[in-house]
Amino acid sequence: AGESNLPVLNLDTCTSDYFDYTSPNFFIKTCTDLNFQNLVGVRQSTLEDTLKQEILTFLQIKSRLTPDNIIFGFGSYSILERLASKVLPRGTMIGEFPQFPYFPLEYTLVGGTYLGVSFDDAGLPANKILETIADTQDIKVIYINNPNNPTGQTWSRLKILEILEEAMRKNIFVIIDEVYADLLPVTESFAGLVNDYENLVIVRSFSKIFGLQNLRVGYMIAHPSFIQKYQTLCNWNEVTNIGALSATALLKDAAYRNDLEKTCAENKKTLIKICGEAGYTVSPTHPLVPLLWLRAPENQNAQEYFRLRNMKVGNNVPYTMLVENFPQNYCRIRVPNDFQIIEEIQTRLCE
């Protein structure tokens, strides 16, 4: 029977979804000191330019790229949506599966097809993707989540480079979604390679790790020629004054980011232990990515099991729209920032 009297725990929120507004760090001070003039009125393009420079500094690619390699969107999803509907050629999109499902769904809605390449015993299916590129006609797009969403696993850099080389040879676009990568070492990012591979597009965000969801600051990094094409087809002046100011302050605040990193690693380690004790198998995952992909015993509907204990987890329905007979004994949870929530998860799962 469900424990409907319990308060709902939202396990589809993330490490940084709730700020400690009493924290005296640089980011919080900047946000609380914002002048009302910065919130309304004319958009200040200089704020956008400053943020671009700060992104290049944060990713340590200032010697390789310029602001002309960056464009903003109303969150990263708006960029993916427009890539699918206005920019990318129609044909077949392939990617590791499971992965963030909404971009492939957008692509199929405008006439493309999607082929998910399932994980193999070693985890992320790099070799199977290379085989699929060789064996499949009409591939136009390769979509890669690095780190993977929902598992939090990261790719081998050498394998991604192999895929990039093969895709370049066959004139295939490679979209690498790095929205969960902000706590990883910057050497894990492929953003610095976009001038070497004109078919490479990187999508990143300030929502998933940094917690600026309501400000909707997503961005794309690509070759300047691709950025120009995107600008021609899409309304691109979308970062607000408060979004640009807040994102810039956050990137300058190393102490805040270090706190996020520590919280994510510690809470995730504890949560993995709790889920294991409750009988779940946790997919391979990076400690600094606030995602867990859980496999329950085959006869258990994992989402329903959590729901009956008033715990909200990630929605599996989009996966079922891409792949038939998607197993129901999987679910995704995001690592909470509050350790009391983790203790409550333990109580509900293990009693």
Element (H, E) at 291: strand 291-295
Q: Which residue has the higher pLDDT, 321 or 144?
A: 144
Domain 41-252 belongs to what topology?
Aspartate Aminotransferase; domain 2 (3.40.640)
Over residues 198-211, mean pLDDT: 91
Residue type, 103: F
Per-residue CA distances from 10 to 39, 90, 153, 338 (Å): 30, 37, 22, 12
Pair 291, 328: CB distance under 8 Å: no
- pTM for the predicted model, two decimal places: 0.92
Average pLDDT, the chain: 88
CA distance 56 to 66: 8
Residues of the chain with CATH 3.90.1150.10: 9-21+255-350
Pair 293, 282: CB distance under 8 Å: yes
Strands 92-97 vs 113-118: parallel, antiparallel or unpaired: parallel
pLDDT of residue 208: 84
Band of pLDDT at residue 89, cut at 50, 70 and 90: very high
Residues of the chain with CATH 3.40.640.10: 41-252
CATH of 9-21+255-350, one of 3.90.1150.10, 3.40.50.720, 3.40.50.300, 3.40.50.980: 3.90.1150.10
Over residues 150-177, mean pLDDT: 96
The segment with the largest mean pLDDT, out of 133-142, 211-220, 236-245, is 133-142
Q: What percent of the chain has pLDDT over 70?
A: 88
pLDDT at 18 > cutoff 50: no
